[in-house]
Chains A and B, each alone.
Chain A
Amino acid sequence: MPSGVFKTSYAEDMAFIRWPIHRIALTLAAIFLLTYPFVFRNNIYMLYWANYIAIFLIATLGINILTGYAGQISLGHGAFMAVGAYASTITAIKLGLPFPLTVFIGAISSMLFGLIFGIPSLKLKGFYLAIATLAAQYLVDFLLVNPKLAWLTGGSSGLIVPEASLMGFEITKLSGSDFYFYFVTVPLAVFFFIFAANLTRSDVGRAWVAIRDNDIAAEIMGINVFKYKLLAFAIASFYAGIAGSLWAYYIGYLTPEHYTIALSIDFVAMILIGGLGRHWGSLVGTVFVLTLPEVLKRVIIPAISGFVPVTFTAESLRPIIFGAIIILFLIAEPHGIVELLRKVKEYLRLFPFPY
């Protein structure tokens, strides 16, 4: 075979789109994302939901790179998001910088913060590293409500976030801001999804998985393990910073309660449920975790209220159901829903006969 043919076949072999079904699925996804805001043009609720998912998906992609791919457990992802949110809001308020620039500043600030809290990963692993990242969470919680810093952070009453304007167009102020913001959040989420997928299918991604699966062998095979761990922390917290900044602009105000340990644990739940080390898992997990409370409130609680004597609120049921689901997944399918779907697909492919 001539070498030219080889070349194209490797390129095809490594492409995202390898089978016609991939092309069809991606086309459908693109059509869905493009028509969604127009279909729900007047449905603020559905637009809000899409923005909510898109923004948090960016953060979840980040923690999945760090934990799912590089194997570094973080209980501080909510704090990384907070640093981004506050950095962008404060630079917008105090310096009057434009929206895109402040989002970028938020991401860089979060990245630097994440790098600092990535340093313990030089010595600490697993549970111990998780505790070290928890320190990031408590440090941020502490600083944000600290009255001495209230001139900067607004203390426990928080901050009002300036309007986001893009190309002379105030996208958060206009009536229908949910609609306009969709065209910021969803393209960014798609971009960061593809970026993450490109990273993990190239040498960096293999280095991360190597570190996750066998850090000693990785180091001896020429991977600067510490550097790549820090890189994972940097990218994960950059993602969190983007998400935090967008979320601040989107909801228009900022208080410390948004970014507590509960949020950090939600992120861990998202990647556990969706699928560790799988980007589609980040999407599935984000949708699942963010949608479940609404499903509880609107469907499950009304349905069971006639049968059970105690009254449940979505808030009280949520932790119980999450806990149960996480335990279930850890025991039955540690690779999350995406792996479960893959197995179902595999089963269907072979049943009744393979095609």
Chain B
Amino acid sequence: MTLLRVNNVTLRFGGVKAVDGASFDMREGEVLAMIGPNGAGKTSLLNCISGFYRPQEGQIFFRDEEITRKKPYSIAMKGIARTFQNVELYRGMSTLDVIMSGRHIHYKCNPVFSGFYFLKGRKEEIKHRKRVEEIIDFLDLQQYRRKIVSTLPYGIQKRVELGRALALEPQLLLLDEPMGGLSFEEKEDMAVYILEINEDLGISVLLIEHDMSFVMDISDRIVVLERGRIIASGTPEEIKNNPAVVQAYVGEADARAEYGG
């Protein structure tokens, strides 16, 4: 069954077409990777899905419901959560509070009534706290629970951000370069988390990633973007042997490797 359908989406910044008539389908339950050289429009496309950018043309459907140009918060409420290329946390909060904040859409208590904590708010806090503790355990964040997130190492911040997205209990999780800036061990951990999220929690994952070895390992299918266009899609095996991709992407990866990128 199709979970997400991106249909002919075009996003322009002035004269620049960041996304140019991109179309792809994502199936329920899969890990779909989006790859492509820097500036190809991957983040822009993710931003269109989560409602932060409004494409000038095209439609995006989530479970047969059109979400194009809807407000970001209402898209989140439908069950789409994400992380960002350059970690976007709430710098003054503790790890616990950041992940708790991800529960926001599940709060039923009227915000003003939470001022009368003992009537209703407390029960609700406890309920959500339980879910959050499960996430903290899942991501091995116990020792950082009370730490202010801006003081944590980058790798941990990435995990906290993933935790916040999981707290929303999404059906679709968008990850923008979840391994960017991580050490090799951290990347391996992240790959395991992503697979567990997909297999054990049953969450569909759309991710952008540069590290081809991880992409090949963890994704069910891959779409390749170049200059805003989708130039190929298929299983990792098919992509690996696609001449257009090899030229566009692997060539760039070689160039990047040469410059130590």
Contacts and interface: CB of A to CB of B under 8 A. Distances in A.
B63 interface: no
Contacts of A214: 88-91
Contacts of B91: 213-214
A48 B178 CA distance: 59
A206 B114 contact: no
Query: Which of under 10, 10 to 19, 20 to 34, or 35 or more describes the interface residues of B?
Result: 35 or more
A299 B145 CA distance: 47
A216 B165 CA distance: 14
Given A198-B115, A198-B116, A220-B72, A11 B101 contact: no
Contacts of B89: 213-214, 217
Contacts of B103: 203
B147 interface: no
B154 interface: no
B60 to A, nearest CB: 15
B126 A14 contact: yes
Contacts of A7: 126, 130
A182 to B, nearest CB: 24
A106 B121 CA distance: 27
B29 to A, nearest CB: 23
Contacts, number: 120
A195 B51 contact: no
A209 B52 contact: no
Interface of A is mostly: helix
Contacts of A231: 111-112
Contacts of A223: 73, 101, 104
Which of B50, B72, B100, B107 is most buried by chain A, counting CB atoms within 10 A of its CB? B72
Given A203-B107, A221-B104, A11 B126 contact: yes
Interface in B89-116: 89-93, 97, 100-105, 107, 109, 111-112, 114-116
Interface of B: 50-52, 71-73, 76-77, 81-82, 84, 88-93, 97, 100-105, 107, 109, 111-112, 114-117, 121-122, 124-126, 128-130, 133, 164-165, 168
